[in-house]
Structure 1
């Protein structure tokens, strides 16, 4: 399962930004799902395989408040997200990605359910807003497997999850190495 991000602004190529055409489903939190369900069905371009794929992919929404999905095909997942997503991920042939849904992504990353973390770093300073890893979570070891800078200044970073982050003690201080 990957944690990805997609953007078409500033020269980021859609497939490299996270959604591979071999993707078998999107895993979303309720708020991200509602925003995507409002906007993506309005984007129709039969010549764009990315848009076609986004609209036809199975969507899995982790929520305890949404009754049903309107952006088909959608499956509403209720209960403990770690348990539910663990079962979903265990099914053979799964390539699930999370887009947006920072709280869900952080919980799954901390639980060891994210295999690959794909980040798009834009040359923008946001003075406010939700951050992906702004609250304490389990330490996670990551290994950079791909990096690319676009002509428009985006950094595309891809990390594999390699277990817990290595820790070292230095004269009474703990540091991640």
Structure 2
């Protein structure tokens, strides 16, 4: 049985909107504030996560953004790993996926993800994909929420779980410092201990 792992990089106040400056958000590109040891440590954690994944799940915009940034054709261990992984893209409009090993999921999102969990044995990692992450959280269709928290607050912007319709209880499963000033927290659904 598959395990849905939502993996997001967020600001201290939970903003995940436009970390690399692709969209017109006032603080677009906020991730670029990370430098040196923090950026290298972040990349190491993300690479290790990709190595432990059995598949990727994402929305169309995240998928197209990764393809446009060359992840489908870059060389190196990390891009090679992402290229080799099965990629499942939730979209009603994507016609011809350009990245190797990509499958478009067109039906009801909750049904498609539930079926995917039955088909894949291991971690199915979700990157970005704000429009997909919200229903996964609201319908309790995730097994872990991994947050890489950057050491700055933005004060505005779209928050990862700022739009859910009801309260959710999560249990802290793990926490660690990454680099000099990042924190990686792993939560699982369920009441706190």
Give the TM-score, by structure 2 length: 0.74
| Unpaired runs of at least 5, structure 2 | 10-30
- Structure 1: gaps spanning 5 or more residues: 167-176
Q: 1:130 aligns with which of 147, 150, 158?
A: 158
In the TM superposition, structure 1's runs of 4+ consecutive aligned residues that sit over 4 Å from their partners are: 6-9
Query: 1:77 matched to which residue of 2?
Result: 105
TM-score (norm 1): 0.80
Which of structures 1 and 2 has the bigger CA Rg?
1
Where does 1:15-94 land on structure 2 (aligned, <5 Å)? 16-17=45-46, 19-39=49-69, 40-45=71-76, 48=77, 50-94=78-122
Deviations 1:2-47 (A, max 9, x none): 00136996243446347242311110001000001122124312xx
Specify which of 168, 177, 186 is matched with residue 149 of structure 1.
Answer: 177
Deviation at 1:140, TM superposition (A): 2.1
The range that moved more, 89-98 or 5-14, is 5-14
> Residues of 2 paired with 1:118 and 1:142: CA distance?
12
d(CA) in 1 for partners of 2:160, 2:61: 15
Number of residues of Structure 1 aligned to a counterpart in Structure 2: 162
In structure 2, relative to structure 1, the CA distance for the partners of 1:153 and 1:66 (3 Å cut) is: same
- Cα RMSD of the aligned pairs, angstroms, is 2.4
More relative contact order, 1 or 2 (CA 8 Å, 6+ apart): 2
In terms of fraction of residues, the more helix-rich structure is: 2
